[in-house]
Amino acid sequence: MKIIHAFGTRACAIKMAPLVRESKKRGHETIVLWSGQHYSSNLYEDLFDDLEIPRPDYDLKAKGTAPEMGAVMLTEGEKVIKKEGPDIVLTHGDTFTAMFMSQAAALALAPVGHVEAGLRTYSWEPYPEQICTKTADACSSLFFAATEKNKHDLLSEHVPEDRLFVTGNTVVDASFQHAEFARKKSRILEKFRFKHPLVFWSCHRKENMLHEERMRGIFDSLLEMEDVNFFCSVLPSTQIIAEKLGYAKKLASKDHIHWVPCLPKYTDAMRIILESDLILTDSGGLQEEASSLHVPCLTLRYVTDRPESVEAGGNKCVGTKADNIIKETMGILENPDVSNKMKRAKNPYGDGKSSERIIKLIEKFEGKLSRWETEIRNKDGT
């Protein structure tokens, strides 16, 4: 079969890498289409080599605002899809790339497979991710849900059950595979020589970035916890808001804070995560990685589309107010019983074999991916 893997952010590259490898392993024509949504050199240039997947066959170089990126993805993406004539286009998650590339494929009459389908909070947040994931699902022919909750939510929206599968999350595959790579080949710990307690920090969601009060609370909590060592993985959008609010120099100058642009190599980031006592983040992917690697996690949000990790006990939403972030962080770092209980929480996102399941399911649907109706349906659904 011919499979287009369409993605365009660092996080999605990490989660799609196991699928790309599995697709090639099983002998399928595997085309990587990079939207360009993440275009900073440290988020892109070394990533593919580190993940051990081929560099993109197509780079749409979509940049700018969401509508500007969307215009490029829809027009140029459609051209690629029509030229290649794939059996299926795989998109991932809740990004602008997932939304626009799913639309481009569906409108070009190419079947769409949505990996990590069904992420729902039934809230405006996370914004704009809830808009993106719902749109991608609306365009899809196959739905690969990570959890039973995701499946239940999709069924409540009348997604066809015979096209919906619980596969686990490919981030578990990536975490397991790259944790071993990281232990063997990463030398990042020699560079930083961290002290404990160590917290891996990443904050970049628009729902926080668009609110000055939220970001001040998050940044203030970092500055105030001087007895804790932080490795801050800083995306360009995070740096911009830190500069805008007058925090960038203060954060970068503190001895207990490593304020570092997002590491080019996933294996280096993974090695630091494995060394960490806690993850403090608003990232959905990091919540899943924390569960997979049994590192306690606190989520800098008021609602999460990964509630399974909260229910399992390995994760907790703590909001964005500085006093609460500090209270919850220190409550874990200073209490081994609490920390160990979170570490022992069951991983709800799968067993590391999601990619194999997804590609096998696609193979079963070869030649049967059309979503056109084939019979008259009565009012009772028969």
Q: Sign of dihedral through CA atoms 259, 242, 175, 293?
A: positive
| Residue 69: C-alpha distances to residues 8, 79, 132 (Å) | 11, 15, 13
Helix/strand/coil (H, E, C) string of 125-141?
A: CCCCHHHHHHHHHHCCC
d(C-alpha 230, C-alpha 251), whole Å: 10
| Residue 183: C-alpha distances to residues 15, 18, 168, 179, 188 (Å) | 19, 18, 24, 6, 10
Residues 6+ apart with CB under 8 A from 238: 202, 203, 204, 209
Q: How many helices (H) and strands (E) does the chain have?
A: 19, 13
Q: Using an 8 Å Cβ cutoff, are 215 and 208 in contact?
A: yes
Nearest to 215 by CA among 189, 187, 192, 246: 246
H or E segment to which residue 237 belongs: helix 236-244
Q: Using an 8 Å Cβ cutoff, are 347 and 172 in contact?
A: yes
Q: Using an 8 Å Cβ cutoff, are 163 and 142 in contact?
A: yes
> Number of C-alpha atoms within 13 angstroms, CB side, residue 265?
15
Task: Find the catalytic residue in 5, 92, 204, 258.
Answer: 204
| Residue 8: C-alpha distances to residues 13, 124, 136, 172, 358 (Å) | 7, 23, 15, 20, 20
d(C-alpha 105, C-alpha 90), whole Å: 9
The yes-or-no answer on residue 204 being catalytic is yes
Q: Using an 8 Å Cβ cutoff, are 161 and 145 in contact?
A: no
d(C-alpha 118, C-alpha 159), whole Å: 10
Catalytic (active-site) positions: 204
